[in-house]
Structure formats: structure tokens, C-alpha cells
Amino acid sequence: MEAHFYHVAHSAIDCLIAALEARDPYTRGHSSRVAKLTELLLLELGVGGREAELIHLAAHLHDIGKIGIPDEILHKPGKLTPAEWAKIQEHPVIGYRILSHAPSLKEIAVLVLHHHERWDGKGYPEGLRGEAIPFGSRVIAVADAIDAMLSARPYRPPLTPLDCLAEIERGGGKQFDPLLVGPARRILLRLERLRSRRRREKRYLGHAGI
């Protein structure tokens, strides 16, 4: 029965993500990368079973509420006005409402609702603080931030894994659960080693005329 639930859930999630990605070019690939980073963080934390599966599904769907954001705001290349930013901040609530229509996705909906809360209570939509924020939402928040920093945006190039790590460490105890900084550090250091190896290989191939 549980295996059937996850099969149905994954199918529904694929449809929802496809609908969102058709509207928002930035979201294309973002949801799957955040889900992968979430999976890596959970592995570092030793979290498995049903809890890990629910968090992983929520990571795939964390931005689904952007379906309800107007195109002119969603696709705006420049800085958002305060009114536009307020509209963007509605997407966790919109996502929660969409997912809550399916009783089997209720737990996932709660994680989506709170993925923009901050450890210091300065996040949205409810301003939850510390451990009042659902654990899965705290993990997704770190994964979401890492992918955002490692991705190119219209107004800046991608950060390196080391620069991203510095930002995560600065945000520990403020934006992020401090217990998640260590796992994030290990993942980002692995990414930096991979990046360095690829750069060395590229230089070697260039010198070899390949």
C-alpha cells in the first residue's frame, strides 16, 4: 500500500513540476537539483525511511506555488518592487493550498508551506523560529539556498562551492538551522574537489591539444 502511495505521489509530482517548469525557465531543473541536495543532506544526517521520502517529495514540490504568481513578476529580470516581492512571498501558501487538496499530500504540504522560514524567526509566511520550523522545511531551505547560489542568475554569475559554503556558514543560527551547516559543508567541499578536478582535466586536455 505504501509503495503504491509513493508511486502515485511521484506521478502526480512529475505532472505538477512539468506544469511549473513550462511557466518559469529558472525553475527548470531547480526542483530536481534541490531534491538531490536534500537527499544528500539527509544521507549526511542519517535520516532515512518514510521521513526521508516525504522530505524528498516536498523538496521536489517546494516551489509549486509559483504556478499562482503572475508571469510579469515571475519572469522579471530586474529587481522586484516591494509589492512584487510581497507577491512572490505568497508562493509557499499557494503551494500549501494546492497540495492540501490531496489528503495524502498533507504532510508534504506543511513542509512546502514553511521552506522559507528562518531559524531566527525572520522568514515567511508565519515567522516561525528555531525548532518550531518543521525539520524537513529546514533541510529544504538549506538545499534551496545552495542551488540558488550555485546557479547563474540574470544579475550575477554562479558562486563557487567555497563561496557558497562561506554564505551558509554565515547564515548558520540566523537563516539556517546551525546543525545543518556541518552536513552542508561536507557536501560543498566534495563539490569543490570535483570542480577543481574538472578544471585540472580541462587544462591538461588543452595543453595536450585534445
Domain positions in the chain: 2-207
Whole-number Cα distances in Å, 66 to 17, 25, 48, 135, 143: 11, 12, 29, 22, 18
Percent of the chain with pLDDT over 90: 70
The pLDDT score that the predictor gives to residue 7 is 60
**∠ CA(165), CA(112), CA(32), 5° rounding?**
60
Q: Note the pTM of the prediction, 2 decimals.
A: 0.88
Percent of the chain with pLDDT over 70: 88
> Do residues 47 and 131 lie in contact, with contact meaning Cβ atoms separated by under 8 Å?
no
Domain 2-207 has CATH 1.10.10.10: no
126 three-state secondary structure: coil
Task: Give 54-103 pLDDT, tens digit per residue.
Answer: 999 999 999 999 999 998 998 888 889 999 999 999 999 999 999 999 88
Q: Give me the residue label for grid cell 556541518.
A: 182
